[in-house]
Amino acid sequence: MKTSTTSETNWVKARDIARRYNVTERAVYGWKDEGRIPHIKIGKVVRFDLDAVIEAIEGKGTQA
């Protein structure tokens, strides 16, 4: 995983998210398309803020 030196944001690829959660890259892109995880897209390049993704997946206790 590479770290951005400009703003302390840990931008990662879908592959890195997939490995962390033991899912396919396709599943990660599905989560992105559904709006479940935040991302940034510049041209054809998609990157994910690792901390924001962790918060979106693990940090929200939305179930009652």
β-pair partners for 11: 49
Query: What does the pLDDT profile of the chain (64 residues) look like in tens digits?
Result: 554 455 688 999 999 999 999 999 999 999 999 999 999 999 999 999 999 999 999 986 555 4
- Whole-number pLDDT of residue 7: 62
Question: The tokens 């962790």 sit on which residue?
Answer: 54
CATH architecture of 11-59: Orthogonal Bundle (1.10)
Q: Look at residue 60 and give its three-state secondary structure.
A: coil
- Whole-number pLDDT of residue 64: 46
Question: The tokens 């770290």 sit on which residue?
Answer: 3
Residue ranges per domain, the chain? 11-59
- Whole-number pLDDT of residue 59: 87
- Whole-number pLDDT of residue 16: 98
CB neighbour burial string for 17-27, b if at least 16 within 10 angstroms, e if fewer = bbeeeeeeeee
